[in-house]
A = this chain, B = another copy of it.
Amino acid sequence: MDTSSRLIMLLEVVEQGSFSKAAAMRNIDRSVISKQISKLEEDLGVRLLNRTTRSFSLTAAGAEMVKNAKELRMLLSETVRLAENYHQEPRGLLRIATSHTLGRRYIQPVINQFQKQFPQVNVHLQLDDRPVDLISEGYDLAFRIGEPRDSSLIARKIARNRMLLLASPEFIETYGMPQSMDELAQLPAATYSSSHKRLDSITYINDQSEQCEQVINSVYTSNDGEVILDKVLSGTAYCITPAFLIEDEITQGLLTPLLPQINLPDYSAMYALYPHRDLPVRTRLLLEAVREYIGEPEPRWERNIPNLAELYRTQNS
């Protein structure tokens, strides 16, 4: 390890805010970080961190070094990326971040096929429902539902994401088939809720083409779509859910759309996020494989939903 790597290590330490976290990121012992930072200070002849036993702050010199380390890291990764443009065959490590559901249902099958085709490519698939910082965590590619905020990333729309109101036959038997939005709002719902997002109302377009929001009666919330669906399958709640969560529950008669005459707008789409315009071969190929797998313009999951073209699309006369 030499000066530039140590500078980048310093940068990671500062970004993570602690030696331990930086070590965890790299899967190395903290002592390594401690020693390398010491050596960096010795090399440069400057104290970079003011340490208390349990934490640290940057010195003026340290702050300048971090600034340059950032440039250095960019330049270095850019250089490696340039080299990768010359690969005929994709290789190397591909780090992908995605939400649990998207990952398990739509990314994982693509990766399986992909690694059969390109055995030289290693993959790390990180399942996280909270958005991560692609750059500082070192991911090459992320998949997300929802408009991306971080403008330093390139976002590419992969698929639309329609919404459905679903309940089980048992539920309908118990509560009766609701005939209006007001009626539906009284029934028990299972909804998505996390610290970042809360989906406890139904957005729809009324007869006057106005977007309306109907608050619903949420009796069960979770931050995981699959357990919400499980709850709904148990017949004790209905749900409003993005279409990509549905497999064969509707065709098998386990779930039935409610209020199909309602006009539900698309929910935020599925996006691929990546940090650069020109991607390494492996990343580009995987991204294309995902797009192909999901399909366009009708995403794969919509094939599981009969009559979707007419569902929730009432033209307002």
Residues on B with beta carbons closer than 8 Å to the beta carbon of A64: 82-83
Can you report 23 A-B residue pairs in the complex whose CB atoms are below 8 A from each other?
A2-B4, A2-B5, A3-B80, A4-B4, A4-B72, A44-B83, A44-B84, A45-B84, A45-B87, A46-B84, A46-B86, A60-B86, A64-B83, A65-B82, A65-B83, A68-B75, A68-B78, A68-B79, A71-B75, A72-B72, A72-B75, A72-B79, A75-B75
Please report which residues of chain A, range 81-105, place their CB below 8 angstroms from some CB of chain B when the two chains form the complex.
82-84, 86-87, 91-92
Q: Is A7 among interface residues, defined by CB-CB distance under 8 A?
A: yes
A83 is contacted by which of B46, B79, B83, B84 (Cβ under 8 Å)?
B46
A135 at the interface (CB under 8 A from B): no
CB atoms of A61 and B83 under 8 A apart = yes
Copies in the complex: 2
Q: Are A45 and B91 in contact (CB under 8 A)?
A: yes
Closest-CB distance, A87 to chain B (whole angstroms): 5
Are B72 and A76 closer than 8 Å at their CB atoms?
Answer: yes
Q: In the complex, how many angstroms separate the beta carbon of A12 from the nearest chain B beta carbon?
A: 15
Give the Cβ gap from A71 to chain B, nearest Cβ, in Å.
6
Give A65 to B69 CA distance when docked, in angstroms: 19
Residue interface bits A1-20, CB-to-B below 8 A is 1, else 0:
11111010000000000000
Besides A2-B5, A3-B80, A61-B86, 6 new A-B residue pairs in contact (Cβ under 8 A), listed by A number: A2-B4, A46-B83, A64-B83, A65-B79, A72-B76, A75-B75
A83 contact set on B, CB distance < 8 A: 44-46, 61, 64-65
Q: A1's contact among B2, B72, B78, by CB below 8 Å, is which?
A: B2
Interface readout for A187-202 with B: 1 if CB under 8 Å, 0 if not? 0000000000000000
Separation of A117 and B289 alpha carbons in the complex (Å): 67
A88 to chain B, nearest CB (A): 10
Instruction: With CB as the reference atom, state the residue of chain B lying closest to A74.
Output: B75
* Residue pair B2, A80 in contact (C-beta under 8 Å): no
Query: How far does the alpha carbon of A82 sit from the alpha carbon of B48 in the complex, in Å?
Result: 12
Q: A229-270: which residues lie under 8 A (CB-CB) from chain B? A: none
**A50-63 interface bits toward B, Cβ cutoff 8 Å, 1 = contact, 0 = none:** 00000000001100
Docked pose: A7 CA to B91 CA in angstroms? 20
Q: Which 3 A-B pairs have the closest CB atoms?
A: A44-B83, A4-B4, A68-B79
